[in-house]
Chain A
Amino acid sequence: MDGDLSKVAVKMIRFMNHYARDISEKHRIIKYFADDQYTPPVYRTSTGAMQPLPDSVQAFDRQPALAVQAAQQQRDKLGTSSWLTVMYDYYPVGYANTLGYAHPNSGDTMTTVMIGGLRTVLNGDFEIFAGDLVQFYW
């Protein structure tokens, strides 16, 4: 999560978490990632008209395609399709109590995860009050 390449993966997570409002929109976004075609930043106004935006607010940068592909497709890439195979549908359930890692021989992971009970943890960037529902965020 600290290189230039992984910035695309970070943007994919942000894009999905913000714009997916139901399962169908989730699948449309996955198709958008798989198609991997650059589109300019555009949104729809309340009256239904499409409004273009400056490049500074685009979610994904323009990744120039190879010369052969550019001749065939005439479009730039998003750089998202190569990350799709490692983007998991995750369901966080709790906190890990022990260290867990893939064993070098078998790949098995042994760890203990706390999925119920009381625990004191570090709060994130937002003020929290007693009784609030708590979610994970990146």
Chain B
Amino acid sequence: MSVVFLISVCRWKRLTGLRSRRSFEKNDFQPDGRRKPYTNIWLDGGAIGNVDPSFTVAPGGAGQAGQAGWDLPLDARIRQANYDLQYGQRAEKQKIVARIKPYFRDDENPRMYDWIRVFGVAISSARPSEMCDIKISRQSM
């Protein structure tokens, strides 16, 4: 009985653990899909501040700032682990596949590479890591 329980715990940890994360751009967005607030890195003389995109400046100043990561809810992690099984990837190796997310327009700080990656419209709603109907229409948005 205890052996079965131990196996179940190990499988549960594997399903819900960090190993199934594949999108390296996730933490650059807020959990609702919007980009994290823009940080002005353009300095004098053409220099660029070497600042991580997931970094957010806290209102109190840089002393309170940090790289706030976030995690998916448990049900989404289970679904993601289930769909990851089809890739047959080796353990501890990442196979990065482009996935879809809603596009949010930001007029004050437009992100060029988000806009040129828009390629369709969602025709159904979906939770994270759930199948979603989309209409692909890059030629006639």
Chain A residues proximal to chain B, CB less than 8 Å: 1-2, 10, 13-23, 25-26, 28-29, 31-32, 38-45, 50-54, 56-60, 78, 91-95, 114-138
Contacts and interface: CB of A to CB of B under 8 A. Distances in A.
25 contacts: A1-B95, A2-B95, A25-B42, A28-B46, A39-B50, A42-B43, A51-B61, A116-B138, A117-B135, A118-B136, A119-B133, A124-B100, A125-B72, A125-B99, A126-B102, A127-B33, A127-B125, A128-B132, A130-B122, A133-B103, A133-B120, A134-B103, A135-B102, A135-B103, A137-B101
A77 to B, nearest CB: 12
B124 interface: yes
A18 B111 contact: yes
A42 B40 CA distance: 9
B67 interface: yes
Contacts of A14: 24-25, 28, 53
Given A2-B93, A137-B25, 14 more contacts: A21-B109, A21-B110, A22-B110, A41-B50, A42-B51, A44-B40, A59-B51, A93-B119, A116-B139, A118-B135, A123-B128, A124-B101, A130-B124, A133-B103
Interface in B63-107: 65-67, 72, 76, 83, 93-96, 98-103
Contact of A93 (B29, B125, B138): B138
Contacts of B53: 14-15, 17-19, 59
Question: Range of interface residues on chain B?
Answer: 35 or more
Label chain A's interface by main secondary structure. Answer: mixed
A129 B122 contact: yes
Contacts of B121: 131-134
